[in-house]
Structure 1
Amino acid sequence: MTIDILFIWTAFKEILKALPTTLFLTIIPLFAGFLIGLAVALIRIYKVKYLAGVANGYVSFFRGTPIIMHIMLIYFGFPLLIDLISAKFDWGIQSNSIPISLFVLTALSLSAGAYLSEIFRSGIISVSTGQMEAAYSVGMNTFQAMTRIVLPQAMAQSIPNFTNIFIGFLHTSSIAFIVSQKEMTGAANIVASTNLKFLESFIAAGFIYWGLTIIAEGLSFLIEKKATAYNRGGVQ
């Protein structure tokens, strides 16, 4: 067997057309997961009555089960729930009118929220309690102390972990192909099936994923350098 070098370039161009979908399936869940994760982390840290147990169960379940299972559960389970509620309250909504991407985004967002909550929690508790006490001593309330002192430091320290989560979900977005979302891995599979050149197609896809990972790591390095400048005596 020989490798068709020219076809790698052909496949590369075709797969690249699915890049917007891949980025969409990566960035939107991470943004939603950011908000979910921060809320869940604060609930767990402050042991909010009634909610802390729910938050702990949520994190345990979504971190303890594979993301592909989350997608399948929501893809098959949510339509049944939507149809049941719609019929009960006579809303006239049919689950088959809802885009598949919405179910995928929901599953990925919930998964991202669970992982990011642990990153937030570890970042927040790594900031010394003395800084909170100092904030209280100058008249700040808890919200002001968290937003002005604790969270900025926690975020800066967590940048490498955020980068790892981004890269992980960039690769995880390929799972969406099992529910007919044509992202880059799905595009590679389609190109390969059409031309029966699977090796070349997935080599091309691999180069694209690799390139995106290198870009993400580079941006992370620059952001981390700026965000942690205070540790080196000021912004450079």
Structure 2
Amino acid sequence: MQLDLSFILTALQSILPALPMTFLIAFVPLLLGLLIGIVVALVRLSDWKISKVILNVYVSFYRGTPVILHIFLIYFGMPLIAEEWFDISLNGWPIVIFVIIALTLNAGAFLSEIIRSGIMSITNHQIDAALSLGMTTFQMYRRIILPQAFVAAIPNLTNILIAFLHSSSIAFLVSVKEITGAANIIASSNLKYLESFIAVGIVYWVVTILIEVLANQIEKKLTAHLRQGVVQA
């Protein structure tokens, strides 16, 4: 068997139109999961014992089981629950909606741990100072704690983003045509599997590098004041 280098370019041209679907599956769950993660992290740091137990189980389950299981549970289970409990049919829903819901719940669990660790890295002195200035708890979290927690969590958030970009490839198992699914179709049609998957690997690699460069620039900009040190008069 000979490697057909020209077909790699042909495969790239066929794969790239599916890139927006990959971005949709990778980035939308992270944005929605970030909102879930913030709420879950704050509740788990609170004194609400029953809520903490429930959310601990949620986080433990989603961190302890594979993503493909979450997709199958939502894809097969959600329509059944909607029909049995609420007499609502979800038969007309696009498959990608179920994938996004599954990945959002997964992202919420992982991001809650990242945000929680970021919040716990804030010293009590800053919390006491904020409260002594008359800030409410909401103002303290919005202006003091959460901004610093997010800056501290940028490396972990970048890793999660890259992981979700790669995990989006699982969606082709439920017939969502993202770039891995497109590569699989091209490979099956032309019997050039190696060239097709080299092409999709190049796409993942380039996008991953761009994410790392962008995250690095954002981190440098947000932490510039920490590197300046104390300016002598």
Query: Which of 123, 134, 143 is the equivalent residue of 1:139?
Result: 134
Q: CA deviation at 1:170?
A: 0.2
Query: What is aligned with 2:174?
Result: 179
Runs of 4+ in 1 over 6 A off after TM superposition: none
**Partner SS, residue 91 of structure 2:** helix
How high is the TM-score relative to the length of structure 2?
Answer: 0.96
User: Within 2, Cα distance between the matches of 1:140 and 1:103?
Assistant: 41
Q: CA deviation at 1:47?
A: 3.1
2:5 aligned with 1:5, yes or no?
yes
2:177 aligned with 1:220, yes or no?
no
1:69-104 per-position Cα deviation (integer Å, ceiling 9, x unaligned): 0001111111111111343xxxxx422111111110
Of stretches 148-157 and 196-205 in structure 1, the one that deviates more from structure 2 is 148-157
Letter paired with 2:4: D
Q: CA deviation at 1:49?
A: 3.8
Matches within 5 A, 1:82-97: 82-87=82-87, 93-97=88-92
User: Within 2, Cα distance between the matches of 1:145 and 1:80?
Assistant: 43
Query: What is aligned with 2:19?
Result: 19
Query: What is aligned with 2:46?
Result: 46
Letter paired with 2:221: K
Query: What is aligned with 2:75?
Result: 75
Q: CA deviation at 1:54?
A: 1.0
How high is the TM-score relative to the length of structure 1?
Answer: 0.95
1:11-63 per-position Cα deviation (integer Å, ceiling 9, x unaligned): 01101110000000011100110000010000001132421111111000000
Query: Which of 198, 201, 215 is the equivalent residue of 2:196?
Result: 201
Query: What is aligned with 1:90?
Result: none
1:167-211 per-position Cα deviation (integer Å, ceiling 9, x unaligned): 000000000011100000000000000000000000000000000
Q: Tell me, which stretches of 5 or more residues in structure 2 are unaligned?
A: none
User: Within 2, Cα distance between the matches of 1:72 and 1:194?
Assistant: 27
User: Within 2, Cα distance between the matches of 1:85 and 1:137?
Assistant: 50
User: Within 2, Cα distance between the matches of 1:141 and 1:230?
Assistant: 26
Letter paired with 2:171: A
Letter paired with 2:112: S
Q: Tell me, which stretches of 5 or more residues in structure 1 are unaligned?
A: 88-92
User: Within 2, Cα distance between the matches of 1:62 and 1:48?
Assistant: 21
**Partner SS, residue 169 of structure 1:** helix
User: Within 1, Cα distance between the matches of 2:129 and 2:224?
Assistant: 22
User: Within 2, Cα distance between the matches of 1:74 and 1:198?
Assistant: 30
Matches within 5 A, 1:154-173: 154-173=149-168
Query: What is aligned with 1:105?
Result: 100
Question: Aligned pairs, how many?
Answer: 229
User: Within 1, Cα distance between the matches of 2:48 and 2:183?
Assistant: 46
Q: CA deviation at 1:138?
A: 1.2
- The percent identity for this pair of structures is 56
Letter paired with 1:149: I
